[in-house]
Structure 1
Amino acid sequence: MRFYSALRLLALWPVAAVAQAPQAGAPLAPLSVEKIMREPAQWLGGLPSAQYWSEDGKRIYFQWNPDRARRDSLYYTTPDGKAPRKVSLAEQRQLPAARGDYDATHTRKVYEKDGDIYLLDLKSGRTRRITNTAEREVEPEFALQGRAVSYTRNGNLFTWDPATGETTQRTDFRRGQRPPGPSADKSEKYLRAQQLALFQVIKQREQDRQARERLQKALAKLRPKPIYLGNQTVENLRLSPDGRYVTYSLVQAPTNDKVAIVPSFVTASGFTEDINTRNKVGAPQTAYELGIYDIGRDTTFVLGYKELKGLDEQPAYRKEYALKAKAPVPAEGDKASTKDKPATELRRVVPHGPYWNDSGQRAFLVMRSTDNKDRWIVSLDPTTQKIALLDRQRDEAWINGPGIGYEAGNVGWMPDGRRIYFQSEETGYSHLYTADATSGQKKALTSGNFEVQQAKLSRDKKTWYITANKPHPGEQHFYRMPAEGGQLTQITSQSGAHEVALSPDEKTLAVRYSYANKPWELYVMDNKPGAKMRQLTHSTTKEFESYKWREPEVVTFKAQDGALVHARLYRPAQQDPTRPAVIFVHGAGYLQNAHKWWSQYFREYMFHNLLADRGYTVLDVDYRGSAGYGRDWRTGIYRYMGGKDLSDHVDGAKLLVDKYNVDPQRIGIYGGSYGGFITLMAMFTQPEVFKSGAALRSVTDWAHYNHGYTDNILNEPYNDSVAYARSSPINFAEGLKGNLLMCHGMVDTNVHFQDIVRLTQRLIELGKDNWELAVYPVEDHGFVEPSSWTDEYKRILKLFETTLRNQPSTAAAGGAVGSSGK
C-alpha cells in the first residue's frame, strides 16, 4: 500500500480516462462534477427557507441568499409581492424573536432573545424588557393564567408580574447535600452543655446565633424552600396555572460516561486537537424522574410509576436468548422457593410534561420506556400523586413516526379542557386522536393509509391545519379539518411539497414549494382550496437554468416478500451500448427520497442527471426503514439492518434488468452514511449483483455507533448480539469481490473515522486488493467544502466509468441478479 497526495490508499483496479464528451442528444450545457459540486449558492442559487410572518401579518420574513454570499441572510417581503429586501443588523436587533409563548387571548407574546426576556403587546406593538442581566434567562411562558411571566435562570424558576414589575423566585434548587443539623450523639451533647455552662462568652454567642436563626426562619417563610439535589440537576421547570405546584425533571447523568475522541489534524493552531464526541451504543444513559414541589404543603416528592401497565413486559426478542439459557430443573422432592425467583424487572421510563389545561384543573404526562418500545399517556393528580392510563402504544420494534418522535410528540388540550389530543401509529400510520382525561374514551380524528405529518389547531380552536401525504407518499399537501374530525379539505393543489406558514389572521399562507426538478421558492396564496400560488422569490441562476433537469419517474416495484417499493428512476435519452446502471442509497435510514419535490440530496440529484447524460440508468430506492410509508415500513429493519433494506435494492437491480434493459453485470451502487452501510453490505454479501460500489462515511460496525439511534433498531449489543452480528458489514468483508471505493471525513463526529480504519485493517488482513480509501482531513460527517465534494464525486465517477462502462460484459457467463442466499 502507498499513500498518495490526496491521502488515499492505492486503487488496485485498472484506471482508464474518464470520458468527457457528452452523449448524442445531450443538452448544450453539459454537466461536469466540477460544475455541480461548486458552492450551491454560487451555482444553483441561494434558496429561501424558514419563512415566518410578522406579528401584524404585514411582512413575511425568510432566510435567503440572492447575493451568493457565504451564508444566508434575513429578508422580508410583503404578501402583495413587493421585491424582497434584506433586513439590516440594526433592524434585526429590534425585531421580536420568531418563536415565543402567547397568552390565551393572543394579545401578548413573551419571548427570549440573546438570553433576556421580553414582553410584546400585539395590539400596540410596544415591547417591555423583563430582564437585562449577564446571566441567561430562558424558557419564558405565561403563568398564573396569564397574570405573570415565568422563566428559568441558573436552574431556578422565577416569575415576573407585569402589573407591579415585581420578580419572585419560585424555587431554590441547590447542588450537593443538605447541611447536617445538630449532632444527636450523647457525648457531643454533654460536651456542648458543659461549654455553655462554663463560659459566659460562649453562651452569649450561642444566644446571638439562635436569634439570627429565628430571624432567618421568619424570613425564609417568604422565600422558596431550599431543595438539595445531590449530584442531580434539574430541567423543564414549570409552574402550575394555579401556582400551587412546581414540576421539574430530575436528571442523573451516568458516572462512567466514556466518550470517543476524534482527533483533528488540520487546525489553525498547527497542533492536533482532540474533539470529545459521544459514547457508544449500550453505554449507561442519563436517567430522568419527575419531581413535584407542592408549595402549599411545602413538600417535594418524586412521582412513582410502578403501576404503569406493561412496565414489567420484556421485549419479545429476549425469549430467543432465554431458551438458550434455561434454568436448571429442581431435583425430585425439592420445592422451588418463590423467594429464590428473580424479582420482576421493571423498565425505566422518561417522563415528559406535565401539560396543564388552561384552568389548571387537569394535567397529563407522556412517559416513554427507555427501550422505546412503550409510550404511555397518563393523567396526573399531583395532590394524590396518582396517575391513570389514557393511552398505551406498544411496538416490539420501537416507537416513532410523524408527530410522535422520541419525546412527547404533538400533544395538547382540546378547547373543552377535558380531552387531550395526540398522534399515534396504532393503525400502522400516524394519525390524530383525542382521549377524555377522566374516562379515557378515545376517538380517532383521522384515518387511512397515509401519514399526518403535522397538525395544529387554529387560534379559535375550531379547525385543524394538517400537513399530510394523502394523495401519494411522494406528495405533501396542506389541509383543514373541523376540530372534532371529519373530512380533510385540501388547500394546496400543485404536485410536490408545500411547507406552510399561516398568517396571524389565518387568511393567507406563506408557502415554500418545490417540485422534483424545480428547487424551493417562496409563494403566497389565500387560505382557500385550490387558490393560486403567487411566486415571491426567484433564486436559481441562469447557468443552472441553462440545463434541462430531468423529472425523475416515481415508480413502484414488488419486493421479494410482496411489498411495494417506491423509487426514483432516471432514464437516459440514449442508453450507453454497454447498458450500465447505478443504484443510489439515501442516508439517515428514516428519510424519504423517492418523492416529487426538490431533494435534500440535490448534489446527488444533479450527479444522477450527469450519469443519465452518459447513458446510465439510475435508480433511487425508498427501501425498508424509509420515512413516508407508515409504521411497518419504518420498522422493517428491526434487528436486521442489511436484511430487507438491502434485498429491496437487490429487487431494484432485478427491475433494472427485467424492465429497463440493464446489463446485470454492469450495476453499481453508492450512498453515504446509512447509504454507505448498505453499499458495504451489498458489496460484501451480494457480489453477484453489484459490480462496484462507493461507500461514503459508512457505518461499518453498529456496535460502535451511538445509543439513541442504534438501540432502537438493534437493542443493546450485550443483550442482542445476534442482531449486531448479522447487521455489521465488518463481519462480512471476506465476501468482497467487486470494486470498492470508500470515502470518509477524518473529523467525522457522527460516524467516526475509526469505523473506516477498523474496516481497512480487516480488508488488509483478509488480503483484499480491489478497494481504495479516500480520506478528507477537514470534513465532518456532512461535507462542507466544494473541493471535498468535487474530489469525492470525481472518484465515484471514475469508479463507475472504469468498472461499468469500459469493461467487457460477462453477461454471457451466466451472471444473474438475485439473492445470494444469506
Structure 2
Amino acid sequence: MKKISAYSFKFKFYVLFLTLLNFGFTAISQTSELSVEKIMQDPNWMGNFPSNVKWSADSETIYFNYNPEKNNNDSLYKIELSNTSKISKVSLEEEQNLSPRYGDFNNDRSRKIFSENGNLKLYNIKTGKTTELLDLSQSIQNPVFLADEDKISFTVGENAFVYNRKAGSIKQLTNIESGKAKDRKEKEISEKDAWVRDENLELLQVVNQRKTEEDNTEAYREATAEEEIFTFYLEDRNISSLQVSPNANFATFKLISRERGESTNVPDYVDESGYTANLPARSKVGENETKVELAIYNFEKDTVYTLKTSELPGITDLPDYVKDYPDKEWEETEREVVPTTVYFSDNGEHAVVNIRSKDNKDRWIAKINLETGELNTLDRQRDEAWIAGPGIGYTFYGGEEMGWLPDNKHIYFKSEETGYSHLYLLDVTSGKKKALTQGDFEVFDPKLSNNKKHWFLTTSEVGPGERHFYKMPVMGGKMEKLTQMEGNNDVYLSPDEKNMAILHSYSNKPWELYLKKTKANAEANQLTEGQSEAFSNYAWRVPELIEFEAEDGAMVPARLYKPEADVKNNAAVVFVHGAGYLQNVHKWWSSYFREYMFHNLLTDLGYTVIDIDYRGSAGYGRDWRTGIYRHMGGKDLSDQVDGVEYLVENHGINPEKVGIYGGSYGGFITLMGMFNEAETFKAGAALRSVTDWAHYNHGYTSNILNEPAADPIAYRRSSPIYFAEGLEGDLLIAHGMVDVNVHFQDVVRLSQRLIELGKEDWEMAIYPVEDHGFVEPSSWTDEYRRILELFNESLLD
C-alpha cells in the first residue's frame, strides 16, 4: 500500500494526539472481542451443527451428520421419536443396514429397489431387511420398478434389461454396441497387395484350400441364416440416460457427440512430488461443440429412431442482440437443441420431453409420438436473456422439476412466465395450462404427497428473506403454511408424512434440528443445541434488512450492519457476494458465515457495513436475475454505488472513506468498482476474481454474455482488464494458485496490465495450496488480515 515517510508518521501522530484530547480518547473504545485469527480458525470452534438429514423407512428415527467429538469429519447420529432428548451415534453395522438413500419405491412404498456395489438389491420397508436379487459379472445400474411391479428394469453397460422377480428370469431389451457396424465384405486392397495374395494362393496349395473352404462356409451361412438380429451402433457417440418405459414397450436414451475444446492447465507448484504438476481444467467460453440427440428404441419394431426437432416453433429465431451488429449477416438456421430428460406417464403410454436451445433462450416441453419420434409442443418459454430460475434447470444437465400426475393426463412443471418461478399443470390431451401458484414470490421443490392428493412445497411468499413449507391441493387452491419459525425452514418429511424434521436457522443463529407434526398449529421442538460456549458468548448481530432506491428507480435489498454511535468512524465497507446468482440478504444463517463474522468485527471497530443483493442475485424473480444480461459490471455495479450514496445521505458516511471487497463474482465487481468508480471506492480487496470473461467457462458465461465471437460488445464492456487504467485507490488482489474454477492466469494477466500502466497502489497476495474455495485456516487468516489492514490504512488515515 502507500508508503508512509517518517515525517508523515510524526504528523499523523500529532493529529491523532490532538483528536484524542478533543474527543476524550473515544478511539480507544474501538476494540472487539473478535479477531481475524479467531473467526478464521477451523469452523469447529463455532460448535457442532446438524446436516444431511434423513428418516428411517419406518418414520421412527431421524438420522443426521453431527460432530460433537470434534473429529476431522462428521459421523452419523440419530434421534428416535420415542426419546427425542437422546442423541446417539450410529454404529457401523446399523449404518450399513439403513434404508438406502437412493433407489426407486414401488407404488405403495413398501419396497425399494436399488443398486449397491453393482448388485441388484431389494429393501423391505416393514422388516428393514435387504435381499440381494442379482449379482452379475457386470455392474447393475439405475434399477426401476415397471408398471408391473414384478418386473424391474435396469442397465448394464450400454444396454437395458428386465428382471422378472416372479419368474426369476432376465431379458435383454436393447442391443446397443459401441463403434461401427462390422463390414463383412472383403476390404479393398491395392493392386500390388492383390497380386501378392493371388501369387501366394497359387503357390501354396494348403493355404488356397483353406481360403476356399472359408469362402464356401461364409456363403452357406449367408444363404441359410435367419434374419440378422438388430444391433444399434453408437459409432463415435456416447450413450447416457438410458431408461425403459413403464410398460416396457420403449426405451429412450441420449446420444452425445463431443468435440472437446482446448483445455487449460493449472500448474500446481507445491505438488507432493516436488515437481510442478499440471492440473487438468476446463476449456474457455465459446468452446462447446457437444451435440446431444434423443433416441427412441422401439422394442416391437426392433429399431431405433431419433427425435425430430426441426419443427419446434421458433427453432430458427434469432436473438435480439443481433441488431447491435448491423454489418454482420445473420442467417436464420435451425438452432441446436439439447433434450434434457424424458418423462413417461405411469402407464407408459405417454411421454414428454424437456428441450432447450443451446443458446439457452428457449425451453420447449413437448409430447413425444413414441411410434415416430415426432413432437407436439405443449409449452414454449422464450427469454431474450436466458432461461433459468428455481426448478427450471440448465442446458444439458437437466435438473428441472417436472413430472406426471397419477391420472396419466396432466404434467407439472415450473416456468418463469409471469416473471417468477411458479408451478403449473398442463393437460396433455387438451393443451390447457393452469398456474397452481402465483404472485411476486418463488416456489421451490414441489413434491406430491403419498396419496397424490396434495403438494408439499417451499416458497418465499412471506418475503424474499424467508422460506416456509406449505401444503396445497393437487389441482391448486389455498396453500396451508406448515412452518412458523422466522428465517429458513428446510423441511424433511417423514416417509409416513406425519412429522417434519426441520433444519432451521436465523440471521445470527446457525442451523439446528427441530421436530414438528405436519400441522400448521403444532409446536416445533428443538432437538439439537450445537453452539460452542466461545461462539455463543459473543452477541452476534442481526443485520437490519433495508431497501434503497437505485438510479433506475428499482428498490435494492441489502443487509446493514451499524456500529454504536460512540465508536462510529464514518467509514463504510461494501461487501459483494459471489456466484452472481445467489442470495445473501435474508433472515437465515449465511453460507458466507466467515464474512458475516468479519462484518461483526468491522462493526465493532466502527465501520458501517452494507451487503447488497445487487442485480443478478437470486430470490427476486426473472427481471432481477437477468438485470446483468450482456453487461456484467453495469447495473450490478451501479447498485453498489447507489448503496454508498444511500449510506452517505442516511447514515453519515464520509464519501472519502468507502471500501469494497468480495470473492469470485464479488471480486470481479470489486475490480470494476475500483477501475470504473474511483471517486466512490477508495480501497478494494478483489478475491479470486474473474478479470476477463472470455477466459471463464462456457455454461455460466455464455448464458449472460452470449459467446465472444458472436457478441464481442458484451465481453468488452464486462471485463475488468479493459478498464485497469482507471485504478486510483488502493487495491489488494488475492488468489489461490491452484484455482481450477477462476484460474490464477486471470490475475497474472491483470497484474501485467497494471505494471504496463504504471499503477503503484496495488499488491497481490497468492496462496499456493488453495483452489477457488479456500480450506486452510491459515490462508483465510492471512487473507482477511490483509483486508482489515487495507481498510484501516486506506480509510482511516
Residues 260 and 104 (structure 1), Cα distance of their counterparts in 2 relative to 1, 3 Å cut: same
Q: Kindly indicate whether residue 176 of structure 2 is the aligned counterpart of residue 173 of structure 1.
A: yes
The answer on 1:89 being equivalent to 2:92 is: yes
In the alignment, which residue of structure 2 is the partner of 1:634? 625
Q: Distance in 2 between matches of 1:439 and 1:447?
A: 22
1:350 aligns to 2:332 (yes or no): no
**Partners in 1 of 2:265 and 2:175 — Cα distance?**
37
Instruction: Identify which range, 69-78 or 371-380, moves more after superposition.
Output: 69-78
Conservation of the 8 A alpha-carbon contact between 1:567 and 1:619? yes
TM-score norm. by structure 2 comes to: 0.92
Q: Give, in angstroms, the shift of residue 263 of structure 1.
A: 0.8
Is residue 2:108 matched to residue 1:105?
Answer: yes
Tell me by how many angstroms 1:530 deviates: 3.3
> Is 1:419 the counterpart of 2:410 in the alignment?
yes
Cα distance in 1 for residues equivalent to 2:411 and 2:578: 35
The residue aligned with 1:7 is: none
1:277 counterpart SS class: strand
Partner of 1:245: 250
Offset at residue 145 of structure 1 (A): 3.5
Structure 1 position 294 matched with structure 2 position 298: yes
Q: 2:360 aligns with which of 360, 366, 372?
A: 372
| Residue pair 2:147, 2:347 contacting (<8 A) in 1 also | no
Task: State the Cα distance separating 1:343 from its structure 2 match.
Answer: 6.3
The alignment's TM-score, normalised by the length of structure 1, stands at: 0.89
Task: Using the TM superposition, give the Cα deviation of residue 185 of structure 1 relative to its aligned residue in structure 2, in angstroms.
Answer: 9.1
- The answer to whether the Cα contact below 8 Å between 2:288 and 2:698 also exists between their aligned partners in 1 is no
- Give per-residue Cα distances to partners, 1:286-319, cap 9 Å, x unaligned: 1100011111111111111100000000111012
In the aligned structure 1, how far is the partner of 2:299 from the partner of 2:664? Answer: 50
1:348 aligned partner, one-letter code: E
Distance in 2, matches of 1:50 and 1:441, equals 39
Q: Residues 97 and 112 of structure 1 are in contact (CA less than 8 Å); yes or no, is this contact kept in structure 2?
A: no
Q: Indicate if the aligned counterparts of 1:96 and 1:111 stay in contact, CA closer than 8 A.
A: no
Alignment match of 1:230 (pick from 235, 248, 252): 235
Q: Give the superposition deviation at 1:147.
A: 2.7
Structure 2 counterparts to residues 440-451 of structure 1, below 5 A:
440-451=431-442
Contact 2:26/2:567, CA 8 A, preserved across alignment = no
Structure 2 stretches of 5 or more lacking a match?
A: 17-24
Q: Which residue of 1 aligns with 2:133?
A: 130
Query: Structure 2 residue aligned with 1:533, among 505, 508, 524?
Result: 524
Q: Is the 8 A contact 1:291 1:300 kept in 2?
A: yes
* Farther-moved stretch of structure 1 (59-68 vs 592-601): 59-68
| Local SS of the residue matching 2:324 | helix
Structure 1 residue 245: Cα displacement? 1.2
Partners in 2 of 1:103 and 1:217 — Cα distance? 40
1:476-520 per-position Cα deviation (integer Å, ceiling 9, x unaligned): 000110001011111111110000000111010000000000110
Alpha-carbon offset, residue 572 of structure 1: 0.8
Residue aligning to 1:608: 599
Deviations for 1:688-731, whole angstroms, at most 9, x for unmatched residues?
Answer: 00110000000000000000000000000011000000000000
Q: Distance in 2 between matches of 1:548 and 1:24?
A: 20
Contact 2:568 2:607 in 1 (8 A): no
Q: Deviations over 1:89-110 (max 9, x none)?
A: 3332222321221112222111
Deviation at 1:75, TM superposition (A): 1.3
Q: Deviations over 1:49-99 (max 9, x none)?
A: 111111111111111122222221111112341422222333322223212
1:483-498 matches, within 5 Å, as 483-498=474-489
- Residue identity in the other structure for 1:285: E
SS at match of 1:800: helix
SS in 2 for 1:665: coil
Pairing 1:310–2:314 present: yes
Q: Report the Cα offset of residue 439 of structure 1.
A: 1.6
Q: Secondary structure at the match of 2:94?
A: helix
Return the offset for 1:229.
Answer: 1.0
2:503 corresponds to: 512
Could you tell me whether the CA contact under 8 Å between 1:373 and 1:395 is conserved in 2? yes
Q: Equivalents in 2 of 1:580, 1:651: separation in Å? A: 16
1: CA distance between counterparts of 2:27 and 2:497? 51
Corresponding residue of 2:388: 400
How far did residue 207 of structure 1 move?
5.0
What is aligned with 1:677?
668
Q: Quick one: distance in 1 between partners of 2:446 and 2:642?
A: 36
The runs of 4+ residues in structure 1 deviating greater than 4 Å are 12-19, 21-27, 183-188, 198-218
Tell me which residue corresponds to 1:39: 42
**Counterpart residue identity of residue 419, structure 1:** H
Q: Secondary structure at the match of 1:522?
A: strand
CA distance in structure 1 between the aligned counterparts of 2:265 and 2:708, rounded to whole angstroms: 21
Q: Does residue 117 of the first structure (1) align with residue 117 of the second (2)?
A: no
2:61 counterpart of 1:59 = yes
AA partner of residue 638 (structure 1): Y
Note if contact 2:29-2:567 (Cα within 8 Å) is conserved in structure 1: no
Residue 47 of structure 1 aligns to a residue whose secondary structure is coil
d(CA) in 2 for partners of 1:442, 1:432: 11
2:421 maps to which residue? 430
Greater Cα shift, 433-442 or 699-708: 433-442
The Cα shift of 1:159 comes to 2.4
Q: Name the CA shift for 1:226/1:774 in 2 (closer, same or farther; >3 Å).
A: same
What corresponds to 2:468 in structure 1? 477
| Separation (CA, whole Å) in 2 of partners of 1:22 and 1:416 | 72
Quick one: structure 1 residues 800 and 441, their matched pair in 2 at CA, closer, same or farther if it must change by over 3 Å?
A: same
Q: Which residue of 1 aligns with 2:401?
A: 410
Q: Return the alpha-carbon distance in structure 2 between the equivalents of residues 565 and 452 of structure 1.
A: 21
Is the 1:665–1:691 contact (alpha carbons within 8 Å) kept by the matching residues of 2? Answer: yes
Q: Secondary structure of 2:254's match? A: strand
Secondary structure of the equivalent of 1:130? strand
Q: In the alignment, which residue of structure 1 is the partner of 2:611?
A: 620
Q: 2:285 aligns with which of 277, 281, 297?
A: 281
Matched residue, 2:50: 48
- Taking the aligned partners of 2:321 and 2:210, their CA distance within structure 1 comes to 73
Task: Find the counterpart in structure 2 of residue 780 from structure 1.
Answer: 771
Deviations 1:450-480 (A, max 9, x none): 0002211101110010100101100000011
Equivalent AA in structure 2 for residue 98 of structure 1:
R
Asked if residue 721 in structure 1 is aligned to residue 721 in structure 2, the reply is: no
Whether the aligned pair in 1 keeps the contact of 2:147 and 2:346 (CA below 8 Å) is no
How far apart, CA to CA, are the structure 1 residues paired with 2:753 and 2:589? Answer: 39
Contact (CA 8 Å) 2:441, 2:460: kept in 1 or not?
yes
Q: For the Cα contact (< 8 Å) 1:366–1:408, is it kept in 2?
A: no
Residues of 2 paired with 1:773 and 1:307: CA distance?
54
| Matched position secondary structure for 1:77 | strand
SS of aligned partner of 1:652: helix
Corresponding residue of 1:817: none
Aligned twin of 1:812: none
Deviations 1:386-427 (A, max 9, x none): 210110000000011111121251000012110100010000
Tell me which amino acid in the other structure corresponds to 2:522: A
Query: For residues 219 and 347 of structure 2, what CA distance do their matches in structure 1 show?
Result: 44
Please state if 1:381 is matched with 2:384. no
How far apart, in 1, do the equivalents of 2:568 and 2:322 lie?
53
Deviation at 1:135, TM superposition (A): 4.4
Question: Is the 1:698–1:744 contact (alpha carbons within 8 Å) kept by the matching residues of 2?
Answer: yes
The residue matched to 2:289 in structure 1 has which SS? coil
Q: Report the Cα offset of residue 22 of structure 1.
A: 11
Q: Please identify, of 302-311 and 569-578, the stretch whose mean Cα deviation from structure 2 is larger.
A: 569-578
Q: Say which structure, 1 or 2, has more relative contact order (CA 8 Å, 6+ apart).
A: 1
CA contact (8 A) 1:22 1:30 kept: no
CA pair 530-657 structure 1, distance change in 2 beyond 3 A: farther
C-alpha deviation, 1:176, in angstroms: 1.5
Pairing of 1:567-716 with structure 2 (within 5 A) = 567-574=558-565, 576=567, 578-716=569-707
- CA pair 604-181 structure 1, distance change in 2 beyond 3 A: same
